[in-house]
């Protein structure tokens, strides 16, 4: 289910392989730079959170073509005229490029590269599809988690969405990305073991239903988990269930509301618990929650101490994809380096290797970003992209760091980045005006220059 | 990336493990039946397509707890009071239950079980989360693919969405599910090798951009793939690109439009190709397409021979999740068997082991379904659920069948099921009235009976 070494090189769109065959067979030995970025913000998002870099690097270090992979391709009718040279190339394939990236947890905006790959062109091309899907998914979920935890206004949010994720792997990686974006933990136990993320769990309706008597179901659970039980009280009737628990006389750690009128029930339950002298028993709410419902509940003074958010988080349900793209920005052939850009209608890209510079105002809050060339520098502009791979090897091996420390470092970066954003950008509604990002003068000049060259070659040919 | 044997038993929500601990430690040795079904249709869907059963069975046959898995759990503070007996149970864990299921490719409706699991209660509980996510995802995508291919009205649709899928595994499984739902193939090469699905690929904008001259880019590609090249013509200017290709005098298999005014361009390109005497050169369209855009394009007489659909398919973008649930419907303790149901507000479930019976009219079209008890039978009602696992083993091992034959069998079932549905259900807009599904009298009676029993125990305790 989770990526295991080695990754198959076939985890890519076929056209990456046809192009790679073309580059190899035509001896097109260019060194190319591609940038991975987002063209537009998804609806209702004011910013995005970079995530998935750890898995992307893992993929780049471990992608290989097995002999079965190569035989499969060789047998495709489409590859009939491709010479052996290409299949030999695949058998020896390893990613040998350099990668710069935004550290995971960094808040970023459209046009800003999350990842910049410089490698022999066929290599850079072959890794495109998997790089995109790896970075796409976790960025999507971390960005959603930032919204959900913003709405929860300091109350813990636990990611509960594995069951409706897009498969088993997506469930595990959603748990990781949700933690990066600010969640307190997850119910996905594998993610707990693999990444050190705190895990949380209560009980399901089936536990109550399996017992003939609801009170017995509560008591039997408290027998096994005397200290940290959170009891589910909405299987039949919330108030009747609460009376049974109080009558048992054994204080649970919390109770969970999962359906019905959570606002009214939370208020009633809080009062009843306090009356019973159980002020420290927490109320946990779940059941088709998202940032909007959480905001409304809290604005209405719901008595909720923590939230479990499932499907909305694990699928980013209101906006289940981000328009990530991976575009050629520079081609070096021998001694000449040429900047590249695309000028299809509505799909224009900027040429050249880029860096993102972030500026802060006197209040310490971020005031704006400039996307410039990587050769530029700006006083007070903090460059965000850092080198992460050189010659196909990870630069700073973090293998010795404990998984929990590593992922907490990433989560803390995200929380720190959020703290530096102004309120206007952090709220759930669309920011007006949006966060200011501009291209540097040098980049605009390069863009115009490439456009003129392209206009010449494209029309006149 | 893809599920590999064995699956970790930790691929589950923590509460499944707390409940399993409770069942084991309290010697609650019930045999339970759970049903996996959908409560409501997602917005704009008139039916769903069952998919993912092959991966679900693979999971059930291979889920295990490694010694590291068990050590991890044992060390969680939450499990401090759980006795060794439970950890021993996990170390020996194998799924030993019976499973009935709708064959993959079957069209189904809310309330109808896709999967019915009967097993010792702790086992049935532990597999819940992964079963849901596996079946959820492929069902979601196969259902979307049925809509997209309906819109394409017989023209081939190729799934192109790996790059924006929810991770690498999701990309591969989306390709599989899209094929089940009616697509012609995929660009995901790994899915091609693994499942035998036909793969398709053209060239990317980067190929054109990497060459200084667009005509040279086309020629170099035709050199490597002389017979089946589909050339991308929208990098700079569609009409200029077409002239270059025609001037080369080497006929490609097709050309691809990926941006801009696809409707107008397709008409212009068709005319130009025909003028050049290249009537058999196909026009392939892609670029943020979905069922609605395809319907509009074809209604406007776009000259398109085949479609590539990406993100909309691989994320089911307009509705990225289905409310699949897995509910306890029966508990057997010793000689007594008790039916179970849930009566939380808005979340009512029906008790008892169910079967789905499908009825056809004189025209051969399906006229309606009845959800009954599995002990019932109805003249003319075709039972849809079939046994797929007994005592934890797959009943009909299909290992000897070639992957392509197996997946084509499933796809053919879906196409046959679609052919049996009336037009009202197949169209893209919401069917009015919806497809008729009713519960049998016996099931309604059992439901009332359980409700009365529950009302007694829940209130009076």
**Which residues in chain A have their CB less than 8 angstroms from residue B166's CB?**
133, 137, 140, 165-167, 170, 173-174, 315, 320
Residues of B numbered 135-174 whose beta carbons fall under 8 angstroms of chain A's beta carbons: which are they? 136-137, 140, 160, 162-174
pLDDT along chain B (461 residues), means of 10: 70 97 94 96 96 96 96 95 97 98 98 98 98 98 98 98 97 98 98 96 92 94 93 95 97 96 98 98 97 98 98 98 96 84 73 97 96 97 97 82 90 98 96 96 94 72 42
Beta bridge partners of residue B438, listed in sequence order? B370
Give the C-alpha separation, A106 to A384, whole Å. 8
For A3, the closest chain B residue by CA position comes to B1
Query: How far does B71 lie from chain A, in Å, by closest CA?
Result: 10
**Which residues in chain B have their CB less than 8 angstroms from residue A160's CB?**
13
Query: How far does A303 lie from chain B, in Å, by closest CA?
Result: 20
Q: Quick: pLDDT tens for B42-55.
A: 999 999 999 999 99
H helix runs in B225-370, sequence order: 238-248, 262-275, 291-299, 311-314
R_g of chain A, CA atoms, integer Å: 26
**Which residues in chain A have their CB less than 8 angstroms from residue B240's CB?**
458-459, 461
**Which residues in chain B have their CB less than 8 angstroms from residue A209's CB?**
328, 331, 340-342
Q: Looking at residue B175, what is its pLDDT?
A: 98
- Is the CB of B184 inside 8 Å of chain A's CB atoms? no
| B133 → closest Cβ in A163, A225, A340 | A163
Question: For chain B, which domains are there?
Answer: 7-140+322-460 (3.20.140.10), 201-285 (3.20.20.70)
Q: Which residues contact B137 (CB under 8 A, 6 or more apart)?
A: A165, A166, A167, A170, B52, B170, B173, B174, B177
Give the C-alpha separation, A204 to B347, whole Å. 13
Q: Looking at residue B341, what is its pLDDT?
A: 80
- Which residues of chain A fall short of a pLDDT of 50? 1-3, 460-461
**Which residues in chain B have their CB less than 8 angstroms from residue A223's CB?**
22, 25-26
Whether A69 and B193 lie within 8 Å, measured CB to CB: yes
Q: Quick: pLDDT tens for B8-45.
A: 999 999 999 999 999 999 999 899 999 999 999 999 99
| A167 → closest Cβ in B169, B237, B344 | B169
Q: Looking at residue A373, what is its pLDDT?
A: 97
Question: Does this model's pTM top 0.90?
Answer: yes
- Is the CB of B278 inside 8 Å of chain A's CB atoms? no
Query: How far does A426 lie from chain B, in Å, by closest CA?
Result: 25
Q: Looking at residue A4, what is its pLDDT?
A: 54
- Is the CB of B239 inside 8 Å of chain A's CB atoms? no
Q: Looking at residue A176, what is its pLDDT?
A: 98
Whether B13 and A189 lie within 8 Å, measured CB to CB: yes
Q: Looking at residue B199, what is its pLDDT?
A: 97
Q: Looking at residue A343, what is its pLDDT?
A: 72
Nearest to B52 by CA among B358, B412, B313, B410: B410
Report the residue count for chain A: 461
| A22 → closest Cβ in B17, B205, B207 | B207
Q: Looking at residue B125, what is its pLDDT?
A: 97
Q: Looking at residue B3, what is its pLDDT?
A: 43
Query: How far does A374 lie from chain B, in Å, by closest CA?
Result: 20
Q: Looking at residue A453, what is its pLDDT?
A: 84
Whether B204 and A125 lie within 8 Å, measured CB to CB: yes
- Is the CB of A225 inside 8 Å of chain B's CB atoms? yes
- 3-state SS record for chain A: CCCCCCEECCCCEHHHHHHHHHHHHCCCCCEEEEEEEECCCCCCCCCEECCCHHHHHHHHHHEECCHHHHHHHHHCHHHCCCCHHHHHHHHHCCCCCEEEECCCCCEECCCCCCEEEEEEHHHHHHCHHHHHHHHHHHHHHHHHHHHHHHHHCCCCEEECCHHHCCCHHHHHHHHHHHHHCCCCEECEHHHHHHHCCCECCCCCHHHHHHCCCHHHHHHHHHHHCCCCCEEECCCCCHHHHHHHHHHHCCCCCEEEECCCCHHHHHHHHHHHHHHCCCCCCEEEECCCCCHHHHHHHHHCCCCCCEEEECHHHHCCCCCCCCCEEEEEEEEEECCEEEECCCCCCCCCCCCCCEEEEEEECCCCCEEEEEEEECCCCCCCCEECCEEEEECCEECCCCCCCCHHHHHHHHHHHHHHHHHCCCHHHHCCCCCCCCCCEEECHHHHHHHHHHHHHHHHHHHHC
């Amino acid at each position: 289910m989770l990526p295991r070494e080695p990754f198959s090189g076939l985890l890519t769109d076929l056209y990456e392989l046809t192009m790679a065959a073309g580059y190899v067979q035509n001896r097109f030995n260019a060194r190319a730079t591609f940038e991975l970025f987002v063209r537009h913000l998804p609806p209702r998002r004011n910013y995005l959170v970079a995530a998935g870099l750890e898995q992307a690097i893992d993929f780049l270090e471990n992608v290989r073509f097995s002999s079965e992979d190569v035989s499969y391709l060789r047998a495709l009718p489409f590859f009939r005229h491709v010479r052996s040279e290409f299949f030999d190339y695949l058998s020896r394939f390893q990613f040998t490029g350099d990668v710069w990236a935004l550290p995971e947890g960094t808040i970023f905006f459209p046009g800003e590269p999350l990842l910049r790959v410089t490698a022999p062109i066929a290599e850079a091309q072959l890794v495109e599809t998997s790089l995109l899907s790896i970075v796409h998914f976790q960025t999507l979920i971390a960005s959603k988690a930032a919204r959900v935890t913003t709405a929860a206004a300091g109350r813990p949010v636990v990611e509960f969405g594995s069951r409706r994720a897009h498969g088993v792997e997506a469930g595990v990686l959603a748990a990781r990305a949700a933690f990066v974006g600010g969640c307190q933990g997850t119910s996905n136990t594998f993610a707990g073991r693999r990444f050190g993320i705190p895990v949380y769990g209560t009980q399901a309706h089936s536990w109550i239903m399996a017992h003939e008597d609801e009170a017995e179901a509560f008591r039997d659970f408290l027998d096994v988990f005397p200290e940290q039980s959170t009891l589910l009280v909405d299987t039949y009737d919330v108030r009747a269930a609460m009376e049974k628990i109080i009558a048992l006389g054994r204080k649970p750690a919390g109770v969970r509301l999962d359906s019905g009128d959570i606002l009214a029930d939370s208020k009633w339950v809080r009062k009843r618990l306090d009356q019973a002298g159980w002020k420290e028993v927490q109320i946990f709410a779940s059941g088709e929650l998202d940032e909007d419902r959480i905001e409304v509940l809290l604005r209405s003074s719901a008595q909720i101490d923590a939230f479990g958010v499932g499907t909305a988080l694990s699928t980013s349900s209101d906006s289940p994809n981000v328009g990530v793209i991976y575009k050629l920005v520079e081609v070096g052939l021998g001694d000449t380096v040429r900047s590249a850009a695309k000028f299809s209608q509505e799909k224009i890209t900027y040429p050249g290797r880029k860096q993102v510079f972030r500026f802060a105002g006197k209040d310490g809050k971020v005031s704006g970003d400039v996307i410039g060339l990587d050769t530029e520098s700006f006083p007070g502009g903090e460059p965000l992209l850092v080198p992460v791979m050189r010659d196909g090897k990870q630069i700073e091996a973090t293998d010795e760091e404990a998984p929990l420390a590593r992922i907490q470092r990433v989560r803390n970066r995200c929380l720190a980045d959020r703290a530096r954003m102004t309120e206007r950008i952090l709220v759930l509604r669309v920011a007006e005006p949006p966060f200011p990002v501009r291209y540097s003068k040098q980049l605009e000049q390069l863009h115009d220059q490439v456009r003129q060259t392209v206009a010449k070659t494209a029309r006149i040919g």
